Amino acid sequence: MCGIFGSVAPYLIDAKKSISLLNHRGPDHLNYLDTQSLGHFISLAHARLSIIDLSDVANQPLRREDLGLVIVFNGEIYNYATLREELLSQGCTFKTQSDTEVILVGYAHEGSSFLNKMRGMFAFAIYDQRRGNIFLARDRVGKKPLYFYRKDGVLLFSSEIKSLLTCEGVGRSLNLMALEEYLSLGYIPAPKTIYQEIQVLNPGHYLLHHIGGGTEIFRYWRVHYESAQKSLNHVEAITSLIDDSVKIRMLASDVPVGAFLSGGIDSSAVVAFASKYVEKLKTFSIKFQENSFDESRYAELVAKKFRTDHHQFTLDSDLVHLLPKIVWHFDQPFADSSSLPTFYLSQKTSEHVKVVLSGDGGDESFVGYERYLAHLIGEKFENLPGVARKILRLIANSITTTEPKHFLFKLRRMIHFLLEDGCYQRYLGTIQIFSPREILELTGRNIAAGTMKEILDRFSSVLANKSINKVIGFDFENYLPDDLLVKVDRASMAHSLEVRSPFLDHKLIEYMSALPMHIKLKHFHLKHLLKNKVLRGVLPDEVLFRKKMGFGVPIHQWFKKDIIALTEERLFDSSLGVIPLNQNYMEKILQEHKEEKQNHAYKLWSLLMLRMWEDQWGRK
């Protein structure tokens, strides 16, 4: 797990300066290489976190003069030992025991098709001296980030945006459509970033840049949601896939591996399987002071059952002092409030281990979000008579409570959701922070014809045979890589901690995406297959069949007391003028929230994060 930076330009770029900003991603070794080809300067730089082959010979940039190739690599290839043996049998040679060299030799031997053999998380760049090109690739799911800038024959790329901003010629003009998507979704979907000139390489894609010529981008992997699995022995197959996925992530390491343990189904399942491969697994969890958000009791039950070395850390609103650090590490506006507990948990965990397993990806493959269930119910409501729909809408509008945990608040939101026409509108109803009308009021920009069409196009492009799979596929291709995995990568790498996610193994994803929905979600029971079949008898029933909570923070309560002053200070800071926002509208929603007329906690949080980003990055 590391940080990478590279450049191809008619002039020399200071790679040493750029890579120094990524020291947190790889504090064990910093190095860079400068060379020239076809009238251009090529620089490759690397910040290393040593996990596999701890020797200095595996430091990067890793060069094979005999192959004419140089690589910088961020990530882990879990099946590298098997691939190495395969390449050795074909006459290839190696100088290290690292997975990095396996990628380099595999690429020399098979080209881009070698990507299809790799199991892992990765973002890497290979300079091919003989062909005069740069090859960039990103893993299938998007665990590891890869940003790039290309203009007038210049190519820059990096693990994080901040190192690109140090380079001559890279502008900071804002991408207003990306800003609108942030206000709508709470994150910025790839390939956009908040900067007009900087892009993200999408998951499952590779980029080929011809030095002195053009650039091409190709897709090499994508999930297809089709009912193609004919085997009746799904439980055995899935159990084997999960076990193999956990095992390969446990063994592909030369340092000890621990595990996050929230007390939820997914992280508990990972701990259950991982405990088989280590004598006393170290586990790490967060305890919230607010009981309605606290899952620590369930984490303790799982830790006790599997006899782990359990570590628990308490999070409360006093930790809002971490927000400026979080904003610095994320580089872009980011409104997922769970970045705070993830950042804090990573900080504390890094004091004990270098590598942890997580349960990320379980909800997408095993149908775990409540919005999936709501969507299926919503399909039934499409056939209701107009009079019945009108009565339900009147009932919803009569509910005035602003407490998100209150039954009536959830009922109102659910009714409005069920009355939406079509799966796309229903989906937006569950995840949208600001509606198009509210964004118009906030920014003065009408986004209906632009941004919303782009979101719809991405939704429509999902390769799925049913509308529920369109919803799941959109989450998998957008929410997962651009929100959840961005959160985990930045929060963990800020503390030089590597996070591995067994549920995001592509073999498991491909198997689950081909299963018919009635097998995965039976009688409207979320995660039916995982809970009732695969994990029944493995985890305590108290953990398996409790209500899903999610890994968030109680921002509704915090906006009642602890961070109101900070929010007022930042929202109305006259020195922050790069992003013009309607002051009257912000004052209105802040006052409504303080008076508990409306619950605007998520709106206020997203605006607070936007203003804090602007303070650090937007006005330089």
Catalytic residues: 2
- The DSSP annotation for 540-583 comes to -HHHHTSPP--S---HHHHTTTTTHHHHHHHHT-TT--SS---H
Classify 420 as helix, strand or coil.
Answer: coil
Whether the CA torsion 607, 454, 619, 145 is positive or negative: it is positive
Count of alpha carbons within 13 angstroms of residue 295, beta-carbon side? 27
Strands (E) in 26-65, as ranges, are: 29-37, 40-48, 62-64
Instruction: Please provide residue 54's backbone torsions phi and psi, each rounded to the nearest 5 degrees.
Output: -75, -5
Per-position b or e across 301-326, b if 16+ CB within 10 A of its CB: bbbebbebebbeeebebebbebbeeb
Separation of alpha carbons 202 and 191, rounded Å = 6
Please give, one letter per residue, the 3-state secondary structure of 99-164.
HHHHHHHHHHHHHHHHHHHCCEEEEEEEEECCCCEEEEEECCCCCCCCEEEEECCEEEEECCHHHH
The values of phi and psi at residue 46, to 5°, are -150, 135
Distances (CA, A) of 576 to 314, 329, 440, 572, 579: 34, 20, 20, 8, 7
| Angle in degrees, 0-180, between the axes of helices 601-613 and 176-185, rounded to the nearest 10 | 150
Measured CA distances, 502 to 293, 396, 498 (Å): 25, 41, 13
Beta bridge partners of 219: 205
Q: Residue 59: count other Cβ atoms within 10 Å of its Cβ.
A: 18
CA-CA-CA-CA torsion sign (435, 437, 442, 447):
positive
Q: How far apart are the C-alpha atoms of 492 and 476, rounded to whole Å?
A: 21
Tell me which residue has tokens 């002071």: 289
Q: What φ, ψ does residue 185 adopt, rounded to 5°?
A: -105, -20
Q: Using the 8-state DSSP alphabet, how is residue 484 labeled? A: I
* Euclidean distance between CA atoms 117 and 619, whole angstroms: 44
- Give CA separation, 393 vs 6, 379, 396, 419, 421, in Å: 55, 17, 5, 8, 13
Sign of the alpha-carbon torsion through 247, 252, 257, 263? negative
d(CA 356, CA 317): 25
At residue 536, φ and ψ (nearest 5 deg) are -60, 120
Report the half-sphere exposure of 211 (CA within 13 A, side-chain side): 24
CB-neighbour burial class of residue 370 (10 A; exposed 0-12, middle 13-18, buried 19+):
middle
Q: How far apart are CA 8 and CA 152, in angstroms?
A: 11
The answer to whether 536 and 544 are in contact (CB under 8 A) is: yes
Query: Which residues, including other chains, have CB under 8 Å from residue 33's CB and lie 6 or more apart?
Result: 43, 44, 45, 61, 63, 70
